[in-house]
Each structure stands twice: as C-alpha cells, then as structure tokens.
Chain A
Amino acid sequence: MLFLVVSQIINGVVTGMIYALVGVGLTLILGVLNIPNFAHGVLFAFGAYILLSVLQVVGNFWLALLIAPFGVVLLGLLLELVGVRRLYTAHHDYQLLFLFAVALILQETIILIWGPIGTSVLPPAGLQGAVNLGLTVYPKYRLAVMGITAAIVAGTWLFLTRTNVGAIVRAGIENREMVAVLGIDIQKVFALTFGLGAWLAGVAGGLASPIMGLTPSMGFDILPIAFVIVVVAGLGSVPGAILAGILTGVAQSLTTIVFPEAANVVIYLLMGLMILVRPQGLFGKR
C-alpha cells in the first residue's frame, strides 16, 4: 500500500504542477485585467496542438516545446487586442459571454485544423519508460515535468518579484487605477499580462501532451480545474495558485486509490470547503 501512496503523491504533485501553470496564468489575468478568462482552457489546448504541428516539422520535442507557447502568446495577444481590450469597462456578463464564445469558436477551430479525433505525442526519446525510485516505479517524463514546471513557476515568481515589469504587474493586481495615474501605459501592462498568461497555458498544454494526450475538448476539461485553483488560491494570488494547484493534484490523485469515482468531484469539495472555511482563499484579499 505504501508504494501506491508514494506513487500517487508524486503523481499528484506532477499533475498539480501542470494545474499550477494553468492556474497562475489565469489568476494573473484575473488579478490584473479583472477578467475571468473563460478562453484560458482552450489556450492550454492550443499549446498542445501547436506543439504537435511544430514537432512534426522540427522533429525535436524540446525545440517544439520552446516554440509552441509563443504561438499561443500570439493567439492570446490577438484575442486581447481584438476583443478583450474593448470589454475592460464593460459589465462582467459581457466579458463572460465573449470569452465563452471565443472558447467555443477556438475549440471548433481545433477540430477544423486537426480533426475531431484525438491523438498522442510520445515523450522525448531519452525520457521514455520508467525509473525505479525504490518504493515505486515512475515514468521518467513525469519526473522531468515536475522539474521543468518547478523551474517555470520559480522563474515566473522571480520575474514578478525581482523585475521592474513584474513590480508593475503586481501593482496592477493591487490597484490598477493607481498604476495608470503614475503614468504607466496600463494597456501595455494588460497586453503583457495576457501574453504571459497565454504563454503559461501554452507551456502547460505542451508539457501535458505526452501525459494526457490531445483531444479537442481538453481545454474545456481543464478549465473548471483552473477556476477551482483560482478560487482556492484567492483571486489574483500567484503563490496561492501554485499551492492550490499542487493541493488539487494530490487530492485528486490520492482519491483514485480509495474511491476513483470521486476523483473528479474531490476538487469541487475542496473548493466548497475553502469557500466555507476561508472565503477569500488561501492568499486572497477579496
């Protein structure tokens, strides 16, 4: 039994780190732009599908993983420029409706380009198969994902806390009117944040593709999880999103040992519990 628990905890952390990448991007957009990005899941899906196409051209997974998220950034920036920017002052209902419509259109676009049936991407050659960790055997690629996501999360955190641009983004989360009053071009901050959020979703989609596979609905599958993470984390909280992502992944993973049917429900129980016990979330202020 111990080997199973250990394996599932590692597994939960890996899945949770991917959730965290998606959640951090979503919470940044929500915190700075004050927009619930319902198209965030489909950006995750585009990360995976663009990686697939780039991989078919370049033949190298790591190069494809480097390139693909920037395709998602371009898509995100286009979305921000053409649609989201016009809705900053609109009621949230309009933002929700617009972004949900965009998500549906983009999902159909995936079907048009890549087809309705899913596909698989193999882990890179050196990371296929499993490694014996003593207590359990575990896939090499998933361990690599744990390291890569940790590095990306740390890099994002350093960017936000140790750079001037990061400070502006954080200030935008606290009080964006004040940022504008200080003479900073808030539109650029918004675009940068949306682009960063899209990049994180794209990287997560690319990294997840050898684990989860690719299906047109994968964006809508991960979207509710990303929103649960934001609620558990506290609206706009980056460290909260990281912790909430890992908590969600581990909770899901451990549940599959004892009650597999509840694995997809347990994350909503976690959210419900958080709303009851600490309505502002782990690190939220509102």
Chain B
Amino acid sequence: MTPIDRRTFLAGSTALGAAAMVGGVPAVARAAKTTTILGIFPLTGPYADTGPLMSKAAEMALKEVDYEVAGQKLRYVTRDSETKAGSATRRAEEAIASDDVKYIVGPWSSGVALAVGEVARKRKVVHWFSGGTEDISGKRCHRYAFQWAASPWTAMDVVLATFRKQNQKAKRLYLFIVDYAFGWSLQKYVETLAPGHGFEVVGVDRHPLGQREYSSYITKAAATNPDAIYMVNFGLDTVSAVRQLFNFGMTPKIPVILSWSAGVEELVQMSPEMRQNMLVGTNFYYTIDTPVAKKFVAEYRKQDSKGLPPGYAPGASYGCMRMVLAGMRAAKSTDVPAVIKATEGLKIDDLVGEQTVVARNHQTVRPYFVLKTTPKSEMKDDYDFGTIINSSAKEQPGELNECKDIGSL
C-alpha cells in the first residue's frame, strides 16, 4: 500500500469534518388532525449538553396532559438548532413545511432565537423562547414571539441589589461579557444600573461564544484590582472562566457573580472549591417553592439516573411548553390567532410563581432568583449548590422597553 500523501490526508480530513457537522433529528411519525409543536434545541454544537435535557423537559409538560389540550391532540417533533442561526432557521422552516408545525419552543441562544423568531413571524406560528436578549420583547417584538425569561433589566437589577446587600464595601466590578445578543443586552443594563447600586464598572472584556481560554482576560482584570468579577456568559464559557479564575488564585478571594446562570448544569461542573464566594442569578433553580416546580423537579429527578435536579435549561423548556398549553387552555383552542390573543395578558401561578404575559410586548413578568453558593462543609448533598436568598419580579420600566409596536396577526 502506498504511504498516505498530504493531499489524500487533507481531503479525507475535510470530508469527515464536513460529515460530522451534518446533523438533524428525524421527525416522529405523523398523525392526522393534530397540532404539531416543534422543540428546537441544540443537540450538537456549543450547548449540545443541554439540548437533550431541554427536549426531555419540554416533552414532560406534554406528557402531563397526555398530548391533549382543549380537546385537540398534540404532537411533538424535534430539530437540532446546532446553536447556528442558519441551521436553526432552515430546520424550523423545514419542520413547518413538512410537519405542519404551529408552535415552536426553543432554541437555546439569543442570537439563534431572534432568527427563529423571524421565521415564526413570517410563517405565522407561535414562538416561545427563554433567553437573555431583550430584543424578543424589545425592538424586534412581534405578535408571534413570547419571552419566558425575566427581563434583563429585572435580572441585573436584583443581582446588583443582592450583591450590594451582601458586600457593603464593594465598589469596583470587572465584566466578562459573551459577545452576542444575550451578552450585549445584559451588559447594557449592568452598566446602566451599576452606579445606582453604588458600583463602578472598571473594565469590560467581551469574549466570543465558545471561549475556553480566559487567561488574558483574567490577567487584565487582575490589573484593575476589582472587588468582584461580574460575568454575563453561559454554560461551558462560564464554567471555563470560573475554573481559570480559581486556578489563577483570584477566587475565592474575590467574589464571582454569575449574573445569568444555567444553574444546576453549570454549577455541577465546578468543584465545590471553585463555587466558593459566588452569587448566582438564574431564571430557575430546583428549590423554587411552588407546587408546579416541586412536581416537575421530583419527576425530572426520577428520570435521571443520577438524580440530577433540573437546571435553568430544562426548567425553561418545560416552562415555555407549559405557557403554550396555558394559552391553548385559555383560548379553548389550538388555533394560532386565538391562542395568541388568549396569551396576551394571561396571568397564572405556574413554575416559578406568578407569571404575567404583558400584552404590549409579550414579556413574561415573573420572579428572577439570586442564590448564594453553599460552602463545601455545609452542603447537605452533592446537589446542594446554593440557597435562594433573593428574588424580584419588578417589571422593566416602560420607557426602557423598545417594543413600540407589537404589530398585527
């Protein structure tokens, strides 16, 4: 056999690399005269670890009603968003065309969600999403898109207020911001709100999504002598940054604030030593004291081989799916315009407590939670990551909301 030459080697590598990038999940079998809901989640790519958990949780909400609401059968199909706007929109379009999808839940990235939201607007299907971009219920709002997560303004306000209460002398914040729609939205409000809480932003570093090496940012941050590292990033980006802050000896001396955290799925990846002196803001934590949350957490843990509780990602997909169902129940129909009208202004006691969908911008007004991490010596079990010490459901002031016209159906 001839030795492998450079050309063959490179051609083979490229072909296999391209093959590896091709994803997709086949649709489940069709059923006649049913309403189809699409769960579009990252099954490959940067958030691939959370996609299957989100899909599982979304389907749990449907199983609870036995795939039936308002006398209509429901069908659930999934697609891989890949955390790529192009792939997600292509697959959403394909699912709408081939599976007659009327409702979309997901994906798991603000930039990708905004793109999927445009598909929803164009194809007149309902889109529920949970994420950090304010644009879904802000300047890119429309009648078909709904936001389940708390407003970035609400989140940053309660996180800063809690940190102030916990650290009376702290003044200087250094920001690590992930460089896409989610990071930009939250950075704007941190910088706007920080002075009001007595903080000064002494430095900001924006890093790309999927960043694994933070040493240059940590070195720069250390030079400014901050009182806290304030992070607006997510998932493995956050875990990598926290790990390296610990390795550089910055933590636990300096507190770290995870302002918009995935919760369990992030915290479980850090050793207890890395989690010391940390404040965690999140849209969902498994100790939330509501009947819906308790039932969901118990069922979810039962289905997990290690008894892992759900974090924000599965909590969000479950919460979004429940809002879809609540809208259908309120409309007594699965007809899209009727469900949208019934959802606007809908007020229910649900997963995270009282949830109200604001009609003028489709933002859900709901509590945002802040945890204080549990020191290793005080942990009751492996999943005792922290305790909720504060929450707020304060609505974003109307003048700050950029949704000027939600549009028509």
Residues of A within 8 A of B (CB): 3-4, 7-8, 11, 15, 30, 34-36, 38, 88-90, 92-93, 96, 100, 115-123, 128-130, 136-139, 141-142, 210-213, 215-217, 220-221, 224, 227, 231, 235, 252-253, 256-257, 260-261, 263-264, 275, 279-280, 286
The answer to whether A92 and B4 touch across the interface, beta carbons within 8 angstroms, is yes
Residues of B within 8 A of A (CB): 1, 3-6, 8-10, 12-13, 16-17, 19-20, 48-49, 52-53, 179, 206-208, 210-213, 215-216, 219-220, 222-223, 236, 239-240, 243-244, 246-249, 265, 268-271, 273-274, 305-306, 308
Which residue from chain B places its CB closest to the CB of A142 in the assembled complex?
B247
The answer to whether B6 and A4 touch across the interface, beta carbons within 8 angstroms, is no
Give the distance in Å from the alpha carbon of A274 to the alpha carbon of B91 in the complex: 38
The answer to whether B12 and A122 touch across the interface, beta carbons within 8 angstroms, is no
The answer to whether B9 and A235 touch across the interface, beta carbons within 8 angstroms, is yes
Give the distance in Å from the alpha carbon of A15 to the alpha carbon of B62 in the complex: 46
The answer to whether A115 and B306 touch across the interface, beta carbons within 8 angstroms, is yes
Which residue from chain B places its CB closest to the CB of A224 in the assembled complex?
B17
The 8 Å CB contact of A253, one of B17, B213, B222, B271, is: B213
Q: Known contacts A119-B268, A235-B6; can you find 5 more A-B pairs with CB under 8 A?
A: A8-B215, A212-B212, A253-B216, A256-B215, A260-B216
Chain B proximity of A248: nearest CB distance (Å) = 13
Given A4-B216, A117-B269, A256-B216; A286-B3 close (CB under 8 Å): yes
The answer to whether B216 and A119 touch across the interface, beta carbons within 8 angstroms, is no
Which residue from chain A places its CB closest to the CB of B214 in the assembled complex?
A256
Give the distance in Å from the alpha carbon of A256 to the alpha carbon of B271 in the complex: 26
- Cβ–Cβ < 8 Å partners of A11 in chain B: 213, 215-216
Given A34-B4, A139-B249; A120-B271 close (CB under 8 Å): yes
Given A118-B236, A211-B247; A36-B4 close (CB under 8 Å): yes
Given A34-B4, A139-B248, A213-B243; A117-B268 close (CB under 8 Å): yes
The answer to whether A3 and B213 touch across the interface, beta carbons within 8 angstroms, is no
Give the distance in Å from the alpha carbon of A36 to the alpha carbon of B17 in the complex: 13
Consensus secondary structure, chain A interface: mixed
- Cβ–Cβ < 8 Å partners of A93 in chain B: 12
The 8 Å CB contact of A137, one of B3, B10, B212, B222, is: B222
The 8 Å CB contact of A100, one of B4, B16, B222, B274, is: B16
Chain B proximity of A138: nearest CB distance (Å) = 8
Chain A proximity of B372: nearest CB distance (Å) = 20
The answer to whether B12 and A215 touch across the interface, beta carbons within 8 angstroms, is no
The answer to whether A120 and B270 touch across the interface, beta carbons within 8 angstroms, is yes
The answer to whether A3 and B265 touch across the interface, beta carbons within 8 angstroms, is no
Which residue from chain B places its CB closest to the CB of A262 in the assembled complex?
B208
